Amino acid sequence: MATLLTLPTGKRELNKAANRLAILDAARAVFGDLGYDAATVRDIIRRTGLASGTFYNYYRSKEEVFEALADDAAARFRPILRTQYEAAPDFVAYINGAVRAYFAFAAEEYERWEAKRPLNEPQPLMRRDTPETNAVFDEVRNSIHGVIHRGDAPPVDADYLAAACIALVRDIAEQMVRRRPIDVDGAAEFAVQMILGGVSALPIVKP
């Protein structure tokens, strides 16, 4: 999919990127207006103004479109993570910055299109091993490796810690957007303390 990270070149590629963007923008609007369960591919196509055949050149179902939206969000969040790592002087600062950035991003995404969705509507089942979500995991893991090698953190298992941090903040974010008002600072403080408190009890990995 075309993102700010992978800008297309050439008329054909630009047209394909524009079509994908039109489909994703339409899907956000349709899922926001109707909810995921009630929305159909036909609703999305109608909102794009594209031919149905054009839609199916890119996606086979609304499930694929919803997954693409998640992948697009991951692609846009990854450079934010890198900025947090580059700016952080130590492990604690990195965890604080990355966690708070994620909750702020999640709140913005919610306001962009999810706010209209029924509050208790179940989320569709989606793969969590898409290219961009894998890239986010790699970014977090590599950043943890980096601060460990700098001596800013205890030498714990970076793979496990990255997986735990991502799972924790993702689940807390889902609860955060259900509350009114949405409390980014409160969610971030809770998650940061859970992570930092847990790290102190983790086994040390031998070099």
Q: Is the pLDDT of residue 156 over 60?
A: yes
Cβ partners under 8 Å of residue 156, min gap 6: 148, 199, 202, 203, 204, 205
Name the percent of the chain lying above pLDDT 70: 87
**Residue labelled with tokens 């594209």:** 50
Q: Is the pLDDT of residue 2 over 50?
A: no
Rounded mean pLDDT, 6-29: 83
CA angle 63, 64, 70 (to 5 degrees): 95
Range with lowest mean pLDDT among 1-10, 22-31, 143-152, 155-164: 1-10
Cβ partners under 8 Å of residue 69, min gap 6: 24, 27, 28
How confident is the model at residue 7, as a pLDDT? 54
How confident is the model at residue 120, as a pLDDT? 55
Q: Are 163 and 70 in contact (CB under 8 A)?
A: no
Name the percent of the chain lying above pLDDT 90: 55
How confident is the model at residue 103, as a pLDDT? 96
Extract the tokens encoding 171: 């689940």
Among 146, 158, 164, 142, residue whose Cα is nearest residue 89? 146
CATH number of this structure's domain 11-199, picked from the four choices 3.10.150.10, 3.30.457.10, 2.40.50.1070, 1.10.357.10: 1.10.357.10
How confident is the model at residue 165, as a pLDDT? 95
Q: How many CA atoms lie within 13 A of 51 on its CB side?
A: 3
Give the separation between CA 174 and CA 86, rounded to whole angstroms: 27
pLDDT of 96-125, one tens digit each?
999 999 999 999 888 876 655 555 554 444
How confident is the model at residue 84, as a pLDDT? 95
